[in-house]
Every structure is written in C-alpha cells, then in structure tokens.
Amino acid sequence: MKKKTAHMGLFLALSMILSYVESLIPFSFGIPGIKLGLANLVVVLMLYEMGAKEALCVSVLRIVLTGFLFGNGFSILYSLAGGLLSFLGMFLLKRSGWFKCITVSTAGGILHNIGQVIVASIVVSNYYIFYYIPVLLIAGTITGFINGLLSQEIIIRIGKRLPKGGK
C-alpha cells in the first residue's frame, strides 16, 4: 500500500511537470485553447498499468493542483469537465477490450475537447461556440493520437518495469 501511494505520488509529480513543460511549448495553430495534453500521457499509462481508480485520482489531483499553480478557478472547471469526460470515455473503451491503446487515447483527446466546449457554452450561454467543434475534433484527434502513440510505445517497451497496481 505504501509503495502504491509512493508510485501514485511519483506519477502525479510527473504529470504536473508535463503540464508545466507543455506550457513552455508553443502549440496552438492560432486556435485558442488547444494544448498538446502531455499530462494525459500519464493518465493513459496509469489506466493501463495501475488501474482505473488510481488513474482517475491522479488525473483529478493533477488538474486541481496545476489549476491553482498556473491557472485560475475557471481553467480548473474546464479542465475538470474535459478530463472527466475523457477519462470516462477512455475507461469504457479500454474495458470493452476492442481497441488498442492508441485508439483509446485518441478518443480521450476528442472527448477532452468536447467536454470543455460543453462547459464553455453553458458558462457564456452562447451556443455559437459549437462552431468550433470540427476544429477541436481534428485537434483532439491529433493530440490524442500523439499521446497514444507515445504511451503505447512506453507500455510495449518498458511496461513490465512500470509500477503495477495492488500492493
């Protein structure tokens, strides 16, 4: 149990560092709000290697903590909506057992953006925001695919050495 807590802390620290590194990389295509989502790499990895509960826990903690460190109350709200929807989608797709990691991650990337647009349109009560959906769909596919590719290679190459769930 102690070991697992330590591993989760390690993953949380890693995802927070990735969030920070990401803020240094300009990756926007001139479209506001598009991020590489490198921190989701950790979520995908944990989902596969440690378990769903642990992945969800680290994902939520990462969003809240980085929100307080680098963002504001609003960014936490949007990130949470995206993060939770994305997590739910990835969890269900993974559990179905039909898809490989890369597909699960791509779906996660798309759902992340859709979750954020839904919250944004509710907050400002302006449904024209949905005109961004095609752009965000494509962006989510690209970022999710990159993350999926990376985490899949990590799992295939060093997955056996990553900390596992349980004791």
Partner 1 sequence: MSKRFGKKDLIFFAILLVAAIGLLIFYQNRSLEQGQCIIIARNGENYGTYSLEKDQSISVKNEDGNVTNVVVIEDGVVHMEKATCPDHLCMHQKSISMDKETIVCLPNKVTITVIGGNEGELDAVAN
Residues 11-30 as x/- pattern, contact with partner 1 by CB under 8 A: -----------------x-x
35 touches 146 (CB < 8 A): no
Nearest by Cα to 62 from 23, 97, 18: 18
- In this chain, which of 33, 51, 163, 165 binds partner 1, going by CB under 8 A? 33
Residues 73-112 that bind partner 1 (CB under 8 A): 74-75, 78, 98-100, 102-103, 106-107
CA distance 9 to 131: 39
Residue in the block written with tokens 């752009």:
135
Question: Is residue 2 close enough to count as binding partner 1 by CB under 8 A?
Answer: no
Residues 115-144 that bind partner 1 (CB under 8 A): 120, 123-126, 128-129, 131, 133-134, 137-138, 141
Tokens of 17: 């560092």
CA distance 126 to 119: 11
Q: What are phi and psi of 35, to 5 degrees?
A: -130, 160
Which stretches of the chain bind partner 1, using CB under 8 A?
28, 30, 32-33, 71-72, 74-75, 78, 98-100, 102-103, 106-107, 120, 123-126, 128-129, 131, 133-134, 137-138, 141, 152, 156
